[in-house]
Amino acid sequence: MKLRGLTAGLNSSGKFKYKASPCIHPAVHTRLTFAWRDQSPESVVDYLVVGGGVVGLAIARRLCRRFPEKTTFLLERHTRVGEETSSRNSEVIHAGLYYPPQSLKTRLCLRGRQLLYDHCQKSNIPFKRTGKLVVASQPDQRPYLEYLHAKAQSLSAPPYWNSSELREKGPVLPTELISGERARELESDLSRSIVAALWSPETGIVDSHTLMESLEKDIMESEGGALAYSTRAVRVDPYAENGEDGWVVQAVTGDAQDGDAMLARVLINASGLSGTLILNSLLDEQKKIPMYFARGSYASYSGSGISRVSHLIYPCPDAPSSAGKEKHSFHSLGTHLTLDLQGKVRFGPDLEWISPPSNEESDADFWMRHLVPDESRIKLMHEAVTRYLPDVEMDGLQPDYVGIRPKLAPPGGGFEDFVLRTDHTSDFLRSHKGKSQGAPMINLLGIESPGLTASLAIAEMVVEDRLVGTGEHLR
């Protein structure tokens, strides 16, 4: 396995496998293929992070800074970082509006927003606080905006919040409920049918690629950090021998026929769309975790109906209108208008559930075939957009790019929070029963929106709460 500047090609053999789930909507019970034989470790690393998206990068960077005397390796199976969900999204810095008050999504979005703006300012990463309007295009959507506004005003600061900002800026999530007339003063092309809007001044946009490059650079320049590109984990086994606990991870670079086995004292799985692979390879069949995939298409726009647009515009999400937890039971924030840092307009993402192949065993990367943008979604996207921007022309919409979101709940399955799950070698080794817990493995599952915004806060939680807070980093 080569580290740091590796640029070998993608693998063409030995791909991850999965078995189809017997669910109503097809899901993926992903698992590592155990065609790779068990090996004894040839080296030891203190922290091993699997997955080089924005979350994996943020975690590895924080580990390098928190424990400069330790070794931190990051494995990324593509030729460069952020090739999946992290580079195929709206690049929005979310304020934290939509999720249950006590959820990880809310807590980590609030704190992540604070950390991300601060990091962008200090590291010269392009960003802009654009503000956002969430618009109600019919009267029965107004109660939803009122609910969001009341919830925002009641939120308390999450752990690690910079308390000086409370004194300077007031609520942790400032919002304002405004009339349709006031919304049209801010964005003159909004439909006359807009009856109300929620103004969120803390929403913004960021250059996600420059952000990931900054995290990557910090890791590479650290004392004990290293990255391995085009390198995939093909087998993981719990290990406890000679007084040493950990996880034996076999990693293969490029098209190599043999892998390198290393002992990770702490294993962190941040592999996004492949997030259940490692854990499911160790769990009993009835405990395996299904994964669902949601395809989101984006369209660029050039034409009338968006004159002088300067804010992000979101419709009310397709959520039930009744009170309680059902208000969070949506899988998409709707086909919204976003801007890039050059002021160009795009709409998306929409929502299209995709299913794995029906055969018993297949490539878990089946979703890559769905990344090619086409015009099949343009008509539906146009219909969605013209509910709040009626003068947008369909001829001005062009397919731009496609992203895939990892989902832990099927269509209609309700709200699913981020999952940060900690297992230990003792959970899988009989020899450990009754003894110490052994080495931790932290699996990050279902990290979709607002994962980009929350990335630095997720890293903070993993390192400070899950490792430092429990002493599990100490050896």
Q: Per-residue pLDDT tens for 210-250?
A: 999 999 999 999 999 999 999 999 999 999 988 889 999 99
| Lowest mean pLDDT segment, chosen from 20-24, 232-236, 287-291, 304-308 | 20-24
Those residues with Cβ within 8 angstroms of residue 458's Cβ, 6 or more apart along the chain or in another chain: 55, 58, 59, 108, 112, 418, 420, 444, 447, 451
Q: Tell me the C-alpha to C-alpha distance, in Å, between residue 165 and each of 117, 121, 124, 331, 379.
A: 13, 16, 21, 31, 44
pLDDT tens-digit map of 394-426? 999 999 999 999 999 999 888 999 999 999 999
Confidence grade of residue 434 (pLDDT, cut at 50, 70, 90): low
In the structure encoding, which two tokens stand for residue 109, read together? 């979005």
pLDDT of residue 13: 29
What are 325-360's pLDDT values in tens digits? 456 656 678 899 999 999 999 999 999 999 877 654
- Per-residue HEC secondary structure of 64-127 comes to HHHCCCCCEEEECCCCCCCCCHHHCCCCEECCCCCCCCCCHHHHHHHHHHHHHHHHHHHHCCCE
Its pTM stands at 0.90
Which among 470, 449, 466 has a CA at the least distance from the CA of 62? 466
Mean pLDDT of 354-381: 82
CB-count exposure of residue 435 (10 Å: 0-12, 13-18, 19+): exposed
Contact 91, 205 (CB under 8 A): yes
- Residue 12 has what pLDDT? 29
pLDDT (0 to 100) of residue 171: 87
* Paired strand residues for 20: 28
- Predicted confidence at residue 131, as pLDDT, reads 98
**Is residue 93 within 8 Å of residue 203, measured between CB atoms?**
yes
Scored b (16 or more CB within 10 A) or e, 383-405 reads ebbebbbeebeeebbebebbbbb
Closest of 327, 333, 347, 300 to residue 405, by C-alpha: 333
Which pLDDT belongs to residue 233? 94
Residue 474: per-residue pLDDT: 63
pLDDT at 6 over 70: no
What is the average per-residue pLDDT within 104-119? 97
Q: Give me the domains of the chain, ranges plus CATH numbers.
A: 43-85+209-288+416-467 (3.50.50.60), 132-201+292-320+329-407 (3.30.9.10)
For helices 451-460 and 54-66, angle between their N-to-C axes, nearest 10 degrees: 20
pLDDT of 11 > 50? The answer is no
pLDDT exceeds cutoff 90 at 47: yes
Cα distances (angstroms) measured from residue 368 to each of 274, 317, 363, 365: 12, 27, 10, 6
CB crowding 295-307: b at 16 or more within 10 Å, else e: bbbbbbbeeebbe
pLDDT for 359: 59
pLDDT at 2: 42
pLDDT in tens, 241-283: 888 899 999 999 998 888 889 999 999 999 999 999 999 999 9
Model confidence at 470, pLDDT cuts 50, 70, 90, reads confident
Q: What pLDDT is recorded for position 36?
A: 62
Task: Give the 3-state secondary structure of residue 217.
Answer: helix
CA dihedral 101, 103, 107, 110 (to 10 degrees): -60
165-214 pLDDT, tens digit per residue, is 555 567 899 999 999 999 999 999 999 999 999 999 999 999 999 999 99
pLDDT at 30: 35
Q: Residue written as tokens 């990892």? A: 406
Q: What is the pLDDT of residue 322?
A: 37
349 prior amide bond cis, ω within 30: yes
Q: Percent of the chain, pLDDT > 70?
A: 85
pLDDT at 8 over 60: no
Q: Would you place residue 164 in the very low, low, confident or very high pLDDT band (cuts 50, 70, 90)?
A: low
Q: Beta-carbon neighbour count of residue 7 at 10 Å?
A: 10
> Is residue 137 scored above 80 in pLDDT?
yes
Task: Give pLDDT, residue 39.
Answer: 80
> pLDDT: is 310 or 327 the higher one?
310
Of the two residues 32 and 323, the one the predictor is more confident about is 32
- Segment among 81-85, 134-138, 234-238, 242-246 with least mean pLDDT: 242-246
The answer on pLDDT for 308 being more than 50 is yes
* pLDDT recorded at residue 417: 96
pLDDT at 151 over 90: yes
Nearest alpha-carbon partner for 206 in 335, 294, 118: 118
Element (H, E) at 276: none
**Does residue 433 register a pLDDT over 90?**
no
pLDDT at 14 over 50: no
Mean pLDDT for 6-33 is 32
Length of the chain: 475
